[in-house]
Structures are given as structure tokens and as C-alpha cells.
Structure 1
């Protein structure tokens, strides 16, 4: 409950019925536009994968996946996915998707270690996407190019919402601002990573923080990233590092930065070995996914996840993710929200 934020004089713009219609409008438009913009084919995704294959997303490396024994596999354990960061790259190879094209899927996950608040739920729904790239596109300029394409889809979706519900005025800036995580630290050396995100998002409205996972000049990471999907260690211009990052917007309802997407260019075989060594987990190289990558069976790619409920929450000016998705919440949180006109579905 200490994490729950109650906006002053909160009044939802849409009622429950209107909200359900608006959610469908946003999801239908956004995924169609994203598919067209990035040339992505929709595929069906797994809810769980076998434990010990290295396919599941390790997130920060500390979160526990939901696991269960499978009778037909002699009680070997399967895990509910955290995300499909590595699975998608294997599918690019297995579906033989050509360079310049990719795939996306509706990803549903359970993250039991999440601390429940306005934007975090046990249930995660996002569009996971992956696109086959060339070696010439394995660079920072190409990362920015894809980020700008996604941002254009966000702006078009915001306008669709405005046309349908004129009371919800567009607030996204015309362009998204790029900043390296090290530059962000240099700009706000006295602030924590989260406070730095709040400050830069409030200043610019929409930002992409580049380089998340590597160590900064203060000896800390901006945030954690697993070593085996995003490339966060490749040197780029001016000695900075990282070919990944997060799309953040300023959320005026919550008065804070608001992460919409985590994404990046995926590790090459060489970078995989490098990052496994940095994180002191070289043994992962023996797992199924890692072996396929090291043997050259997987294409170079760029990919990420875009939060479906997060996107709807932002566009509909909602104060709690539970106004968008059905999940479970502490009774005290439900009651406090109800008293403040925040109706959790």
C-alpha cells in the first residue's frame, strides 16, 4: 500500500463501459499499425516453456518464474514465461523470416515477485516483437530509426483516441528525445535512476534512454538487463555503450515517468560470450537457446516488448493499471482505490 499513488481529485474520463470499448480500439489500431510499420507477421506464442532451456526471459536475474511439473514429461518442470525475448529470435529462424521482416505476438505472463502498485501487476500483457536485421544495421542509428517508427505509431494511436473521445487531448510531443544513460547520470548526478527518469521525461514528454544494463561512471547500472538478449555492452560513438533502451513518456495523472517499452538490438554470438563473462554466468552458454545462437543458427535481430495495459492506461488517462486489466489486488488497495474513484476491474 505504501506504493499506491492517489492523484488529487481524480475523475476518470471514461466510465467502465466506455473504457472497455476504448481498450479494444487502442489494441486493434496499435497492433495493426505496428505490424505495417515494422513489417511484422503475427504468430502464436507459448504461455510456458521448459525449465533449463534458457528460453525464458531472466529479467533482472532475481525474479522467480511460476513453475509446475509436467506429468507426461516425467515431472520435468515447465515455467510460465516472463517475456518472450529469446523465444522470438528462435522463431525468426524457424519460420525462416527474411531480413527486413519480423513477427509479433500477444504475450501473456505471470510475474509473482512484482511489487503491486499503480503500474505493476502480477499479470503482464504486451506485444512482443522481433525483426530480422543485417550486420550493417547492427548500430545505434538503426536502433534510433526503429524507435522513431514505434513512436510514430504511438502518436497516430493517440490521435485515434482523441477522435473517438475528444475529452482526451493529445499530449505526446512531436518527436521523441534520445539520451544516453551516462549522459542522464551526468545531467542529474544527485538523483537516483528513477528520479533521473522522472526529471528527463517531465522535461521532454517522451524520451528513449539508451544503454541499460552496463555499468556507469558511478559504478552502478541505470537498471538491470539479462546478459543474453539485448546488447548493452557494445561501444558506440563518443565511448558510450549500449544498443538497447527504454521508451518513457511523462504521465500527468501519476506525475511521473512511465515506461511503455523495453527494446534493443539483440546480442551477436561474440557479444553474448562477452556479456555472460561480465555477469559471471558463462555456464549459460550450454543452454539450448545459447547453443543455437553460438552455432550461428539464429539471425541478427532487434526486438522488444510494448505493454498493452500500460499503453491503454496512458492513452485513457487512467490512474491504475487495474482499471485496464483484470488481476488480483490486496483488499486494502481495492478499497482505497474505490474510495478515490479508481475502479479496479
Structure 2
């Protein structure tokens, strides 16, 4: 059965041609706003990494990366899930200093994703990372950066409305910050996704803090790899998607692990074997810069700001027959 649901009276605000033009406009506007506020430089990024490097993002730990052999190198490659670890290594190699950072266009294949209105096996996002000082490894600094990103998204929405007056979608810049434990306390009988839906409906711009560690219920709000975000200094940025009447996660981000939090989280995740990788050794030995970073979904931002009902309206991917049938006559899948 398809997990895609198209609202009964849904009609795209823009036609296919104008949608494509608007996607390019959104990406240009947001990059200008984001790089200006966070002082980021664009860099080229890998589509794949060495399978034995430890640089790939393990996500929740169960997703299988796309692997392929490289006969000429007598080695295997892995298509990246994200650039969470690679960016931190790049900041050291490129000799970035506190207050400056980088961003890249990241394209990935997540073969185990279950496609629906918001999910696709193809992932495109802005992956960004910024060098920080020891004094900036605080909750207040994290919130300050989140506010900068929300302001950039709101500015992009405003410029889009000027160019396309019919696209009357605005972003609330007042962020409601709530920890995952506080959210569980509010809705103890709800699933994590149900909690997000209920809370974001009342608080259309929400940042859920501290994701990855076990809550009082004995379960985490959501799974996070233990070797890039510090679970006490991270979170998810969500917006209310009016077209679908649901909460939409647009970004996962956080202050990255230092030597202490890396070892603690690897132990909690029973993943201490990852200390065999060079990346983890460099973090443990304080050989990599302290950083903050995250990923911002490009297709999801376009969905949000254009009021689209399905991610397939703003990106090209593969869809099952049931999804195609559900979208028939209402949604043009690219």
C-alpha cells in the first residue's frame, strides 16, 4: 500500500515550468542568505568515500550504503549518506579558523528509505560546517546559529513571494526550542512523530533539542549516529507544512563531538569498535577542529516554500506504482 496521500483539493500553485525556475531561484537566494550570515565558503564535495575510511554517515545505524568495487584501486567505495564527518576533516585540511566554515551540495542515495510525500531514495541537501571555539560549545550558541538559519529561510521565502505573488507562504522566525525529553513529558502516550505533529502544529517553527540519547521512557526520540553530533548539543529544525497539515523536518544539525562526548556516546551505542578508524582517532586526540554543522534539505525547502504536496514535484527519483497512481491527475512527478 502506498504511503503517499495527496489532499483532495490539492492544486499546485505553479506549473511545472515555473516550478523549475522557482527551484533555482530558491537555491540561489538561500545560499546567499546562509553564506552571508554564517561566513561559509562553497567547496566541492565527494559523491563517494572509501568504504573503510569511517567517513560515511551511519545515520541510525541500520541503513545500508550503496557500495561498489573499484578494480583499479583494489578497493571499495561507498556513496555518501551525508558529509557529516568529511566536512570536519576538510576544515582541517583547508586550514579554516574559528568563525568561518564551508558548505557543499550533497547528493546521496538512501536505498532503504521508504518513499512517501516527504521521503525519497534520492537526497539532496546543503551540507555545512563551521569552526568554533571551546567557549562556543554551548546551548546558547547552538540556538543563535539556528536563529540565523531560520532568518535565512524566511528571507528566501520573502524574496520568493516578491517574484511569485501567488506563492503566499511565509516563515515564522520565532522559534520554539524544546528538548526531546520535554516533548515526551508533554505527550507521554504519543509516538515521537505524533509528538512532533502535535507540537509543531501549535508552534510552526520548532527546534527539538538533544536527540539521540535515551529518554526516561527508555527509548530515544530518534536515532543519531554517536560519532558526529554531541547528543546534548544537537537537534532537528521543523516547520508546519500547511499543504500536508504535518510537521516537516528541514534540517538536522548540532555541535559536533569532542574527545569526551565521542567516547561516551560510542560506549552508549555499543560502537566502540569505530575507534579503529582514523577519523575517530583524530577526534579522540584533539587533532580536528571543534565544529558545528548540519544538513538542510534542498528538495524539502522547495516543497515547503512552494506549498508542494509531494517531494517528487521538486526532484527526480524512483517511485512505486502505488505512488504514481496516488499522484495521478493531481501531482506531476518529475
The TM tier, using the shorter chain, reads over 0.9
Partner of 2:82: 83
Query: What RMSD, in angstroms, separates the aligned Cα atoms of the two structures?
Result: 0.9
Partner Cα distance (1:54, 1:168) in 2: 43
1:165 CA displacement: 1.1
Question: After TM superposition, what 4+ stretches of structure 1 lie above 2 angstroms from structure 2?
Answer: none
Partner Cα distance (1:275, 1:297) in 2: 19
The question of whether the paired residues in 1 share the 8 Å contact of 2:43 and 2:103 is answered with: yes
1:169 CA displacement: 1.5
TM value normalised by structure 1? 0.95
The question of whether the paired residues in 1 share the 8 Å contact of 2:251 and 2:297 is answered with: yes
Partner of 2:195: 196
Which residues of 2 match residues 258-337 of structure 1 at below 5 A? 258-337=248-327
Partner of 1:237: none
Q: Secondary structure at the match of 1:130?
A: strand
Partner of 1:13: 13
Partner of 1:159: 158
Partner Cα distance (2:272, 2:174) in 1: 40
Partner of 1:132: 131
1:174 CA displacement: 3.4
1:271 CA displacement: 0.8
The answer to whether the aligner puts 1:344 opposite 2:333 as a matched pair is yes
The question of whether the paired residues in 1 share the 8 Å contact of 2:211 and 2:222 is answered with: yes
Q: Secondary structure at the match of 2:156?
A: helix
1:170 CA displacement: 3.0
TM value normalised by structure 2? 0.98
1:288 CA displacement: 1.7
Partner Cα distance (1:205, 1:281) in 2: 36
Unaligned runs of 5+ in 2: none
The question of whether the paired residues in 1 share the 8 Å contact of 2:180 and 2:211 is answered with: yes
Partner Cα distance (1:328, 1:278) in 2: 36
The question of whether the paired residues in 1 share the 8 Å contact of 2:102 and 2:129 is answered with: yes
Partner Cα distance (1:259, 1:322) in 2: 17
Partner Cα distance (2:203, 2:271) in 1: 38
The answer to whether the aligner puts 1:257 opposite 2:247 as a matched pair is yes
The question of whether the paired residues in 1 share the 8 Å contact of 2:169 and 2:307 is answered with: no
Partner Cα distance (1:170, 1:66) in 2: 37
Partner Cα distance (1:121, 1:186) in 2: 31
Q: Secondary structure at the match of 1:243?
A: strand
Partner of 2:215: 216
The question of whether the paired residues in 1 share the 8 Å contact of 2:154 and 2:170 is answered with: no
Unaligned runs of 5+ in 1: 233-241
1:146 CA displacement: 0.3
Partner Cα distance (2:257, 2:55) in 1: 14
1:98 CA displacement: 1.0
Partner Cα distance (2:29, 2:243) in 1: 23
Q: Secondary structure at the match of 1:249?
A: strand
1:331 CA displacement: 2.5
The question of whether the paired residues in 1 share the 8 Å contact of 2:235 and 2:254 is answered with: yes
